[in-house]
Amino acid sequence: MSKTEARASVFFRPPAGRLQRAENSPTTMTLGAAFPCLGARSEPYRWAAAGTARRSVGKGRFMRGVVPTFSAMPDWLAMVLVAAAYCLVNWLGQQALMLELDMDSVVWPQPGFALVAMLLLGWRVWPGLLLGALLSEAWRWRGALDGMHGLSPVLGVALGVLAQTLFGVWLVRRHFGRRNPLDNFSQCVAFCVIVVAMTLIGSLIATTSLCLTHALPQKEWVSRLGLWWLCSSCGTLLFGSVCLNLYHQGWRLPDREVRYEMLAYFGMVALLTAGIFVWWHPTVDTTYPLDMLVLPLVAWAAFRFTTREVLLALLLILWLALWGTRHGGGPYLGYSAYSTLIILQTYIGILTVVSLGVSALVAEQRKVKLELNQQQELLEQQVRIRTLALEQSHAEVLALSRVDPVTGIANRRSFEESLEGEWRRARRLGTSLGMLMIDIDFFKLYNDHYGHVSGDYCLREVAQAIRSSVRRPQDLVARYGGEEIVCLLPDTTSEGVAYVGEAVLDAVRDLQLPHVGSVAAPYVTISIGGANVQPREVADSRQLIEAADREMYRAKQSGRNRIIVAGMDLPEADDA
């Protein structure tokens, strides 16, 4: 393994357990099949490619498919592409961001591109980055080169670019890993400090190499150092943040209402910035610090939108401020070209740092609010689940409290509640209400002879037989007390009460439960008393119970194993 691969393996080493999952993931296996070059030699990059592919595909970014394919490319191709992209970004920066001809650009976008490229693609592209810096600086210093000796300052500047990028990548990876450093305020501040430190180191190396090679007078070293540091730090902070934000958050179109608000916002930013830097031509007496008026608009983007809109607003402000200052407008009119360049760089740097800080702070608050809302929803869901469970448990307990545990039918409490309800309904509708009072014949003798366990069994069988004979859903069979069972029959005439009673009597006889202590029959029998009343004509429901109970005692006195309904004396058939 080469030194480069060894460093890359240390750089891309994931936590324990994650490397094996990444190697076996469908994304990694697909990349390995598509690019045979991803063998043992490029194993350190496989985990990075798989992780990047998962993020790109999972979040639907605008770079979908680009970063994973780029990571899976051969090293030489990746280096060539990085070098070409670095030269292109450098040329575009010189064309669009230069204040005056033959001057440095206000900000340099290429350091930000170099930082993001190495963060996404890994250490393997550093030769391509060095090659791009060499070509860009050679083109920049082409008029001052004098043979091979003139290549020394170009090499020194390129090494400074490479050194600052490597140092910045190491610090970002060490402190943030693969997280977005613009997600919260503390990370954003740390990212700004890292950018300042790395660009300072690169500027020191570059300007010192220019002095040592006599390409820069020593008396201009400090001024050149400050200028290069401002250009590099502002460019890295602004354009590097743009690239990182697009990579981590993508380019999703907002809703239509939000788009209208964004269009209005960018229109206001363009009008205000153009009014300050393009249309305003101050005099000595009208020089005011109006350039800070754009700060509330940037803060508005941080509160209403996302970091993406903040960065786009900063790019728009940068371009309008540069274009207006270049054409003789704005608050910086009257200064020398060098002073104007320094002031404009400082203005863009301060605006970028403050805007990114406010945006990160608002994003952190949104994230905390979202987490709190999710926790609140989770708690509310758990409360609803617990409430439903308690209601279900309460219903089960209530149902158990209304059921007799021995017979499995309704208990007396349930009977009394149903009687009151049916009594009010019958009184309201003018219907009749019937009742059967049932008693098991010689049940005490049954318990004395067979035992209480068999007595409970007999009571349960009789109750179930009675309930199976009462077929209407509104009818109720309940244990009234001891061996007495009551049937409540709403909207039932005397004939209906007698009919139901006969069915109940036959159902109990069909059980053929032996009863040696009974003188009515050799098996268990019952005595039934029936009654029917009109609730509108009777004052109290107790009169119905008393009437049914009175008829039941008449049936017992008449020989048991029979039914007697009030007003209807039905002879009981002989036992089969």
Asked if the structure places residue 471 within a domain, the reply is yes
Domain extent, residue 161, equals 70-282+289-365
Token duo for residue 363: 């994003």
Asked if the structure places residue 395 within a domain, the reply is no
Do 361 and 416 lie in one domain? The reply is no
Q: Could you say which of 365, 398, 426 is where a domain stops?
A: 365
The mean pLDDT of 525-552, rounded to a whole number, is 91
Do 135 and 222 lie in one domain? The reply is yes
Do 252 and 175 lie in one domain? The reply is yes
The mean pLDDT of 312-339, rounded to a whole number, is 82
Question: Predicted confidence band at 456 (pLDDT cuts at 50, 70, 90)?
Answer: very high
- Backbone dihedral region for residue 60 (phi beyond 0: left; psi -120 to 50: alpha; all else: beta): left
Q: Which of 28-42, 51-65, 124-138, 277-291 has the highest mean pLDDT?
A: 124-138
Query: In 97-220, where does DSSP find H-type helix?
Result: 110-121, 126-140, 151-176, 185-212
Residue 248 to residues 52, 135, 177, 377, Cα–Cα distance (Å): 10, 30, 13, 27
Do 347 and 477 lie in one domain? The reply is no
Q: Which of 137, 422, 483, 551 is catalytic?
A: 483
Asked if the structure places residue 391 within a domain, the reply is no
Do 359 and 503 lie in one domain? The reply is no
pLDDT given at position 34:
34
DSSP assignments along 403-430, one per residue: B-TTTSSB-HHHHHHHHHHHHHHHHHHT
pLDDT in tens, 347-365: 888 888 988 888 888 888 8
Do 97 and 222 lie in one domain? The reply is yes
Do 294 and 439 lie in one domain? The reply is no
pLDDT in tens, 375-422: 999 999 999 999 999 999 888 887 778 888 889 899 988 899 899 999
Asked if the structure places residue 81 within a domain, the reply is yes
Number of domains in the chain: 2
Do 144 and 264 lie in one domain? The reply is yes
Give the residue from 502, 508, 477 showing the smallest Cα distance to 563: 502
Q: Could you say which of 344, 365, 386 is where a domain stops?
A: 365
Please give the Cα distance from 378 to 329 (Å, whole number).
57
Tell me which of 456 and 20 has the higher pLDDT. Answer: 456
* β-sheet bridge partners, residue 533: 433
Q: Is 220 a catalytic residue?
A: no
pLDDT given at position 22:
37
For the chain, first and last CA: distance in Å? 104
Do 360 and 417 lie in one domain? The reply is no
Asked if the structure places residue 534 within a domain, the reply is yes
123 pLDDT above the threshold of 60: yes
Do 207 and 305 lie in one domain? The reply is yes
330 pLDDT above the threshold of 50: yes
The CATH number of whichever domain residue 474 belongs to comes to 3.30.70.270
Please give the Cα distance from 38 to 57 (Å, whole number).
20
Q: Could you say which of 302, 331, 365 is where a domain stops?
A: 365
Contact 441, 525 (CB under 8 A): yes
Asked if the structure places residue 20 within a domain, the reply is no
Give the residue from 11, 20, 266 showing the smallest Cα distance to 120: 11
| DSSP reduced 3-state for 563 | strand
Asked if the structure places residue 520 within a domain, the reply is yes
Asked if the structure places residue 314 within a domain, the reply is yes
Do 353 and 433 lie in one domain? The reply is no
pLDDT in tens, 143-155: 665 554 567 788 8
Token duo for residue 138: 């050679």
Do 339 and 422 lie in one domain? The reply is no
